[in-house]
């Protein structure tokens, strides 16, 4: 059985580890930017409405923290694109035509919107009208959010490729419908869920920092009002994220059933499926999903998984073995077994090899019957292309323990934050919150927890789609460049050093700014 | 013309009066230098451009995909 730490020295493992490291570090900066953007917008809107200097200084304080985080995080995502070109060149070439438009729009929007309005937001106090300044503050946040949209569109396409057709002449997936790519159900769900999760993280950050001021008996009015703003914002975001979480689970069940089965450690599916709260799964070793029907010591909520996955408490949810053996979907269509998918994948690979050979050997305009027939074969079997490289069943099952526990950390953390926001509001309204030091310390300690929870969400999304770089079309070991492992290993440690330094600098500057406090 | 002068003043005065911003800009510039000059030039070449001739990228990628 596979072990979590079974990293062999192949380049593909180092390339995966490097991409994971870079993405995890990048995501330390992004959610706070998106979350604080709303908080500072709310504070400045209060200033615009009331004209009170208190709100202006409050907005300026959160803008300062936003600025620190923004400066540290800016351009860290570019490194991911470098990795595409060097470590994942096959993948990069295959998706280039699809990713080009979204990433170009992201770059243009990010550069023009953010750089313009960030400047007005920081330099424009007392220089532009209050209304224009307020608009600039909101547009800074909107720019960052739109920027996130296009990145998430690209990510979603890998999870659920739509709106493209493979061209065997250019060897590229070429975009056939921009709308299908930009508005695919996976992209919409991912965007809403991700941005809401960033809002929750921002709210926890505001609540945590404000609690620290109350613990230190400093800036009491500012801290109370920030606590109230953060807790209400967090509670509203949490309510919305529950809805979007349910919808995301439904979409995952339709588009990536293996991911859902791995998240739930559902080895053998069926109707009326319960949602597992916790089970005894070894965190470091792939469980024997072939020989057992369910994990030991399983504690579950009856019918909840069926409802989550199908919107019907009696709905059918396939388990890992069902997906491998083939099953009938709710709409009556048959999902092929792994063996059938492998056969179709190999048919696509063979047809492509033959097409490329014929195309190179004869001078043709590409309309010979044999070439047209091969094109048809490739087109019909391309959705299963990646299965042609699969040798055994275990290769297409994600590492279950990571998916299973990361999902529970994400959902459990979300519930913890709902409790936190509710308690903070209760004590603000009904009690003296400064006396509830346990709650203030708890809120402060929740700041790092929010980051862990946020990263756990990405672990579910990305571990859950393994082994695919493009779902069903390209496994990681084919998407990777033929590089020496040592080359990738060197840059892995370079990034580790660079990002750790950046994080240490950010925490240091952020702590100094928080200790200094608002200028009230 | 006045608009351009105002925009210029906004940036000019803004950059001149920065306090914390100076540190942040230093971090940004050092980071961009490391990313674009050190990492991109020395550690992250475009693999396909390095291994495939101009106009032969599709052949190169197909050989990579079909010979695994």
In angstroms, the CA A115 to CA A113 distance is 6
SS3 category, A398: coil
pLDDT tens digits, A283-338: 999 999 999 999 999 999 999 999 999 999 999 999 999 999 999 988 889 999 99
Partners of residue A498 in chain B, C-beta under 8 Å: 34
Percent of chain A past pLDDT 90, that is, above it, reads: 81
Q: Considering its fold, how many domains does chain B have in total?
A: 1
What mean pLDDT do residues A106-114 have?
79
- Chain B: nearest CA to A89, how far in angstroms? 6
Contact state of A169 with B58 under an 8 Å Cβ cutoff:
yes
Partners of residue B58 in chain A, C-beta under 8 Å: 169-172
**Tokens of residue A494, six digits:** 């370079």
Give me the helices (H) in A111-129, please: 115-123
Q: Taking Cα atoms as reference points, which of A426, A508, A411, A395 lies closest to residue A457? A: A411
Residue A45 neighbours by CB under 8 Å, 6+ apart: A134
Mutation site for A-interface testing, chosen from B39, B50, B65 by largest number of A Cβ within 10 Å: B65
SS3 category, A196: helix
Contact state of A120 with B10 under an 8 Å Cβ cutoff:
yes
Percent of chain B past pLDDT 90, that is, above it, reads: 15
pLDDT tens digits, A32-57: 999 999 999 999 999 999 999 999 99
Q: Which residue has the tokens 């009015």?
A: A221
In chain B, % helix, strand, coil (3-state, to 5) comes to 80, 0, 20
Residue A488 neighbours by CB under 8 Å, 6+ apart: A11, A14, A15, A18, A87
In angstroms, the CA A319 to CA A293 distance is 9
The region of weakest confidence among A42-51, A96-105, A181-190 is A96-105
ipTM: 0.87
Nearest to A75 among B32, B45, B57 (CB): B32
Q: Taking Cα atoms as reference points, which of A15, A80, A6 lies closest to residue A489? A: A15
**Tokens of residue A344, six digits:** 């179709």
Contact state of B24 with A513 under an 8 Å Cβ cutoff:
no
- Chain A: nearest CA to B1, how far in angstroms? 17
With a cut of 70, say whether residue A365 has pLDDT above it: no
What mean pLDDT do residues A496-519 have?
92
Contact state of A123 with B13 under an 8 Å Cβ cutoff:
yes
Partners of residue A122 in chain B, C-beta under 8 Å: 14, 21
**Cβ contact A203:A62 at 8 Å:** no
Q: Which domain holds residue B44?
A: 2-66
Per-residue pLDDT of chain B (68 residues; tens, 9 = 90+): 888 898 888 888 888 888 888 888 898 899 889 888 888 888 888 899 989 888 889 999 999 998 87
Partners of residue A483 in chain B, C-beta under 8 Å: 47
């Amino acid at each position: 059985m596979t072990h979590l730490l079974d990293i062999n020295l192949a380049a593909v493992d180092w390339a995966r580890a490097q991409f994971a490291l870079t993405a995890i570090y990048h995501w330390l900066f992004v959610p706070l930017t998106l979350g604080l953007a709303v908080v500072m917008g709310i504070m400045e809107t209060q200033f615009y409405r009331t004209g009170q200097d208190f709100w202006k200084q409050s907005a300026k304080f959160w803008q300062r923290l936003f600025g620190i985080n923004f400066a540290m995080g800016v351009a860290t995502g570019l490194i991911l694109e470098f990795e595409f070109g060097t470590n994942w060149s096959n993948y990069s070439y295959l998706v280039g035509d699809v990713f080009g438009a979204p990433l170009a729009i992201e770059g243009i929007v990010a550069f023009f919107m953010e750089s313009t309005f960030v400047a007005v937001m920081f330099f424009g106090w007392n220089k532009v009208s209050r209304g224009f300044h307020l608009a600039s503050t909101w547009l800074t946040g909107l720019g960052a959010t739109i920027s996130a949209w296009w990145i998430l569109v690209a990510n979603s396409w890998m999870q659920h490729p739509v709106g493209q057709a493979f061209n065997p002449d250019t060897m590229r997936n070429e975009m056939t419908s921009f709308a299908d790519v930009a508005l695919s159900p996976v992209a919409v769900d991912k965007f809403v869920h991700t941005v809401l999760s960033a809002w929750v993280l921002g709210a926890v950050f505001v609540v945590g920092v404000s609690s620290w001021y109350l613990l230190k008996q400093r800036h009491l009015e500012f801290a109370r009002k920030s606590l109230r703003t953060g807790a209400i914002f967090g509670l509203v975001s949490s309510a919305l994220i529950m809805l979007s979480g349910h919808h995301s689970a439904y979409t995952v069940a339709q588009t990536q059933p293996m991911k859902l089965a791995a998240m739930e450690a559902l080895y053998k599916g069926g109707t009326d499926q319960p949602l597992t709260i916790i089970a005894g799964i070894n965190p470091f070793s792939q469980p024997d999903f072939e020989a057992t029907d369910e994990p030991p010591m399983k504690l579950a909520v009856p019918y909840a998984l069926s409802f989550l996955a199908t919107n019907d408490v009696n709905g059918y949810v396939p388990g890992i073995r069902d997906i491998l053996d083939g099953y009938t979907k709710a709409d009556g269509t048959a999902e092929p077994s792994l063996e059938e998918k492998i056969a179709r994948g190999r048919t696509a690979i063979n047809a492509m090899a033959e097409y490329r050979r014929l195309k190179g050997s004869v001078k043709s305009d590409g309309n010979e019957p044999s070439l047209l027939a091969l094109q048809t074969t490739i087109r019909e079997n391309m959705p299963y292309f990646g299965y042609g490289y699969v040798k055994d069943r275990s290769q297409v099952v994600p590492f279950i323990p990571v998916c299973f526990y990361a999902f529970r950390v994400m959902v459990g953390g979300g519930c913890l934050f709902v409790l936190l926001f509710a308690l903070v509001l209760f004590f603000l309204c009904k009690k003296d919150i400064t006396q509830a030091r346990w709650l203030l310390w708890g809120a402060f300690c929740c700041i790092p927890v929010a980051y862990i929870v946020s990263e756990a969400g990405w672990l579910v999304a990305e571990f859950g789609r393994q082994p695919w770089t493009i779902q069903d079309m390209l496994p990681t070991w084919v998407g990777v460049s033929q590089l020496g492992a040592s080359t990738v290993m060197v840059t892995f440690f370079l990034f580790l050093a660079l990002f750790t330094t950046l994080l240490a600098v950010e925490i240091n500057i952020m702590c100094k700014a928080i200790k200094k406090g608002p200028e009230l | 013309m006045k608009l351009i002068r105002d925009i210029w003043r906004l940036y000019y005065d803004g950059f001149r009066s920065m306090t914390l911003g100076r540190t942040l800009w230093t971090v940004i510039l050092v980071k961009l230098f490391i990313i674009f000059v050190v990492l991109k030039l020395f550690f992250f070449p475009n693999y396909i451009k390095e291994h495939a001739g101009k106009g032969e990228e599709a052949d190169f990628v197909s050989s990579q995909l079909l010979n695994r």
